[in-house]
A and B are shown apart, each in its own frame.
Chain A
Amino acid sequence: MGRLSTSLCGIELDSPLIPASGTFGYGYEFAELYDINILGTFSFKGTTREPRFGNPTPRIAETPSGMLNAVGLQNPGVDRVISEELPRLAEVFSKPVMANVSGFSVDDYVESCAKLGAQPQVGWLEVNISCPNVHGGGMSFGTSAKDAAEVTREVKKVTDKPVIMKLSPNVTDIAEIARACEDAGADGISLINTLMGMRVDIRRRKPVLANRTGGLSGPAVFPVALRMVWDVYEAVGIPVVGMGGVSSAEDVIEMMLSGASAVEIGSANLTDPWVCAKMTERLPELMDSLGIENIKDIIGGAHNG
């Protein structure tokens, strides 16, 4: 076991670093740049029961210290992910991968999770009940404790793989939703998905995004994410995966001290495609300077008394 090893829902990870869904595709683009097996795992592009084109363009906008996206879950659908993407992914990534699943009904989640959970390559199911960019589903399940619990309960019935519920920050009390998921049998919680926002083009006098609203990510959301990871860590006993604006090795340490067992890196991959490799290299020397022997020893380490 290396100094960066940690574990997530009973599966050992060589590293706490996990590229977040929607910023890493199925890994191929990054595998051309560095050996992606240095990662703990990665969460592949959000998958739905049916193929989806997603939203019209523009889907992307600049914001202060971050970005908005309204991609809208473009993906080839669960059947083609299994028949086409997973075999290709296996050529570049030899570890268990995290399957990110989204849906528009409880049945959608159940069917996609049953199919993906049955794949030997899949280590975890990350159930996205927090996508702000689709209509009539997605985030609506993650903004109600009752609905979040129902999705969790039904998905748990159809898979033996660890189920990690990915939560939305666009709620009054995220700890309550996390507790509801834990009570319904969730094996872990990941957070945060993006914060809902928008921009207006002052020359055209129209929203920049064709979808009008999008999800905010990037360094701008890091303190918000950290606060929520902290609160959820205090509220539940299952592992927490922290994400939201993480862009340096220092941010990784901060997330883990706040309660994250592992850390997802999202939009930082888009502006610096080598960022996860650079963090992997930087973490040991940073740990030396902070007197940290093994990274798993610091999980929740800032919660004293």
Chain B
Amino acid sequence: MKEALFRITENRKIAPLTFLMKAAGDCSGMDRPGQFVNIRIEGLFLRRPISVCDIRDDELTIIYKTVGRGTAAMSQMKPREELSMLTGLGNGYDLECSGDSPLLIGGGVGIPPLYLLARKLTQQGKRVHAVLGFNRKEEIFFEKEFRDLGCEVTVTTADGSAGVRGFVTDGLPEEYSYFYTCGPEPMLRAVKKATVTSGQFSFEERMGCGFGACMGCTCRTVTGYKRICKDGPVLEKEEILWED
């Protein structure tokens, strides 16, 4: 973990309530896809944890949805404003397990951390299939970006206004070597049931510190209590304790 000051270079709306921010700063020590940063916002006490979407040299990309005061304040920020971030938080996805044809399954703002993962996996020559789920056509983002990496992309929309009608589980391919997923909990539960291989899940929780000190985000797993912020946010499928 490091504390670093980032200067915003870009902050724009890319879909309803959904914003993309780029910021320049010390990006060392956060090269694992699925990690997050914890952002200090003027006037608020707790930092806001946001997953890293991409890193290019010393520029970080995050994509966030305005769900409360913190993210609403972020959406109003302008280029050249500065943000204090704790960086390099969380375990991130383990790329070693991917096999030759990994499947990436993302829902809404669960999609961003899968982008850096897709970029790393395609760089390794893996055949990546991404299934990206949205509620409706207007909310779709990053479909082209995933295609530009060379991924095969399936889009699903709950209302059928684009791509496959239904949820991400309606768009899963028949064959894949392994999977990585991130999204809202009901989606993750459905993915756990619908997938046929092992895989890794990224979780979200309200956090106090983001680095393992406060026990604010603990969950029960097969292998004991885990802090989502420090032992996670990525857990393996076999560790998850959900009654089927």
Contact = CB atoms under 8 A, between A and B. Distances in A.
Main secondary structure of the interface of A (DSSP, over half): loop
Interface in B211-227: 211-220, 225
Given A57-B206, A63-B45, A271 B215 contact: no
B216 A71 contact: yes
A62 B67 CA distance: 14
B47 interface: yes
8 contacts: A22-B215, A54-B215, A57-B206, A58-B205, A60-B217, A62-B46, A74-B225, A267-B45
Contact of B225 (A24, A53, A63): A53
Contacts of B1: 32-33, 273
Given A29-B212, A45-B215, A60-B208, 6 more contacts: A24-B213, A59-B208, A60-B46, A60-B207, A66-B45, A67-B46
Q: Among A25, A218, A270, which residue has the most Cβ atoms of chain B within 10 A?
A: A270
Interface residues of A, number: 33
B46 A271 contact: yes
Interface residues of B, number: 27
Given A69-B208, A218-B45, A271-B40, A60 B216 contact: yes
Contact of A270 (B3, B44, B209, B230): B209
Interface of B: 1, 3, 40, 44-47, 69-70, 86, 205-209, 211-220, 225, 230
Given A62-B45, A271-B45, A29 B206 contact: no
A212 to B, nearest CB: 15
Contacts of A219: 45
Nearest to A46: B215
Closest 10 CB pairs of A and B: A270-B209, A60-B216, A58-B206, A74-B215, A60-B208, A60-B206, A29-B212, A71-B215, A59-B216, A270-B208
Contacts of B205: 57-58
B38 to A, nearest CB: 9
A53 B3 CA distance: 30
A45 B209 CA distance: 15
A32 B10 CA distance: 33
A107 to B, nearest CB: 25
A53 B47 CA distance: 25
Nearest to A72: B215
Interface string A13-35: 00000000011110001101100
